[in-house]
Amino acid sequence: MPEWMTPPKVVVMGVSGCGKSLIGARLARELDIAFFDADDFHSAANVQKMAEGIPLTDADRADWLEALAGLLAREPALVLACSALKRRYREQLRQAVPALRFLYLEGDFATIRGRLAGRHDHYFKGDDMLRSQFAQLEPPGVDEAVAVSIDQPPVRVLQRCVDALSAPGVYDGHRQ
């Protein structure tokens, strides 16, 4: 991490299957800071719903978002893998940490569907849930996040994320 950069608080966001956990964990390792996966903060009821192929509602996500906001406020620096599908979810997280940075892993339905088809031992199931995530996704604008295409090898996605965080004036707390 460059000396001029304040300890980052970063959310790696996108729909399920875009690589949030993989890239987030690697980014945290690269930055030598803590990594958290927002999936670990879901209630047992939410996990059960998703395992049954039932998309979560805003009400289902309310306590989860509150827990994540608390985590973001407590930790001195971290990378959080979190879907953050809607602008209001991102705003709620940013209320806890105004300098919070978002990296949006962007990909199309077919690419992500192919990745999800290869997953085993994960509660996220079915095309309906993925369609639901794309339907709920409010892609962040350039004022909210840096978009990184996942249509490239993970090492390049990671490098693009590191570059975005390393650019002076972009992710050092001076510019939202």
pLDDT tens, the chain, 176 aa long: 455 456 799 999 999 889 999 999 999 999 999 999 999 999 999 999 888 878 888 999 999 999 999 999 999 999 999 999 999 999 999 999 999 999 999 999 988 988 887 665 555 556 777 888 899 999 999 989 999 999 999 999 999 999 999 876 554 433 32
Kindly report the pTM of this predicted structure: 0.88
Predicted local confidence at residue 166, as pLDDT: 84
Q: Rounded to whole angstroms, how far apart are CA atoms 157 and 152?
A: 7
In our burial notation (b when 16+ CB lie closer than 10 A, e otherwise), range 40-52 reads ebbeeebeebbee
| Burial zone of 82 (CB within 10 Å; 0-12 exposed, 13-18 middle, 19+ buried) | buried
Predicted local confidence at residue 113, as pLDDT: 87
- In sequence order, the 6+-apart residues with CB closer than 8 A to the CB of 112 are 15, 16, 17, 18, 130, 150
Q: Rounded to whole angstroms, how far apart are CA atoms 51 and 48?
A: 5
The tokens describing 134, both together, are: 């794309």
Predicted local confidence at residue 174, as pLDDT: 32
